[in-house]
């Protein structure tokens, strides 16, 4: 990808045997012996106004799938879509700063940014294809939930409603944009290390389906029921008031509607909290299913690394009526 910032960490570049430095159309990388590969790709439209912050958020979002399985990021390829007008005239360096934000996150993650591809499009979008390495004997999976496990969440909810408020220039929009940038640009590396070191059997990252949707995916794959405690859900500042004001994005409404047949909401649960449980997240935290005897250690490691460690629910035996998620 021409114009790619060149300040990749030299120790990471050492993994590249052949690539863009010699105008190759593909990249050849070394891989540690005995490792399996984790591969994922994610692409986003901007959710904040700052180009560097958006690039970093998109990269953090793409990395999360690797962390959720207990993998370590190894390499990445940029995927950028941009309008013709921006390609011809970009005095603010928007494209360059987006790429620099992505590179900054990859350097922090310890993954070599080895190249990429650009496409002219009507709407600006950016993302990455990420490859991670993982011990094939120890992977966290969606189908690994066991009754009795406690559910720990590592970031607050609300990026969907906060981003909507920012676009609408609602009350506290500047503060909300800063909060979105703060959390969405934060890597899930600490939680990923906990998954790996404690050999957590089940975990997922919270993104477009929201906490409720991703918890349901795990419950259905594992043939169990997940219980979430509405009052225990960590929320970004102003998320609850925005939800009560109706600033709920279309994707969040669709999440709630799609999963309604598998969900039971207890009487008395705030409707706004129910909406936030299904709020479509960007670069959300990890949801870890932790055996009771490991909860204290997992929470200590997460908190020591600067993550949240909110116990938001637990896993129980599957309900007789087929309910996979209980919000109470």
CATH numbers and ranges of domains, the chain: 10-134 (3.30.1330.10), 142-327 (3.90.650.10)
Residue 222 has phi, psi (to 5 degrees) of -100, -5
Q: What's the whole-model pTM score?
A: 0.92
Helices (H), the chain: 10-13, 51-68, 84-88, 94-109, 159-167, 173-184, 189-197, 210-222, 239-244, 250-258, 271-277, 295-304
Extract the tokens encoding 294: 């490991």
pLDDT tens-digit map of 294-320: 999 999 999 999 999 999 999 999 998
CA of residue 116 relative to chain centroid, distance = 21
pLDDT tens-digit map of 54-112: 999 999 999 999 999 999 999 999 999 988 887 777 778 888 999 999 999 999 999 98
- Decide: helix, strand or coil at residue 310: strand
* Distance between CA atoms of residues 52 and 106, nearest Å: 13
């Amino acid at each position: 990808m021409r114009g790619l910032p060149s300040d990749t960490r030299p120790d990471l570049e050492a993994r590249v045997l052949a690539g863009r430095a010699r105008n190759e159309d593909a990249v050849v990388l070394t891989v540690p012996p005995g490792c399996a590969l984790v591969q994922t790709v994610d692409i986003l439209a901007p959710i904040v106004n700052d180009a560097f912050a958006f690039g970093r958020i998109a990269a953090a979002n793409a990395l999360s799938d690797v962390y959720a399985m207990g993998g370590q990021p190894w390499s990445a390829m940029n995927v950028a879509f941009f309008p013709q007008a921006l390609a011809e005239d970009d005095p603010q360096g928007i494209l360059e700063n987006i790429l620099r934000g992505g590179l900054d996150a990859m350097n922090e993650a310890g993954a070599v940014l080895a190249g990429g591809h650009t496409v002219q499009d009507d709407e600006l979008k950016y993302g990455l294809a990420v490859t991670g390495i993982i011990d094939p004997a120890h992977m966290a999976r969606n189908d690994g939930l066991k009754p009795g496990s406690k559910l720990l969440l590592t970031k607050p909810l609300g990026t969907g409603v906060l981003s909507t408020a920012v676009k609408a220039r609602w009350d506290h929009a500047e503060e909300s944009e800063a909060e979105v940038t703060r959390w969405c640009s934060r890597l899930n590396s600490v939680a990923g290390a906990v998954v790996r070191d404690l050999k957590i059997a089940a975990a997922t990252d919270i993104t477009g389906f929201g906490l409720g949707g991703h918890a349901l995916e795990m419950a259905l794959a594992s043939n169990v029921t997940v219980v979430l405690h509405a009052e225990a859900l960590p929320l970004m500042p102003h998320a609850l008031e925005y939800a009560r004001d109706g600033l709920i994005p279309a994707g969040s409404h669709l999440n709630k509607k799609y999963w309604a047949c598998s969900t039971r909401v207890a009487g008395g649960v705030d409707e706004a909290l129910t909406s936030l449980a299904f709020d479509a997240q960007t670069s959300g935290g990890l949801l870890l299913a932790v055996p009771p005897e490991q909860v204290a250690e997992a929470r200590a490691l997460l908190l020591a690394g600067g993550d949240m460690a909110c116990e938001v629910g637990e896993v129980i035996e599957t309900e007789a009526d087929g309910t996979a998620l209980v919000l109470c």
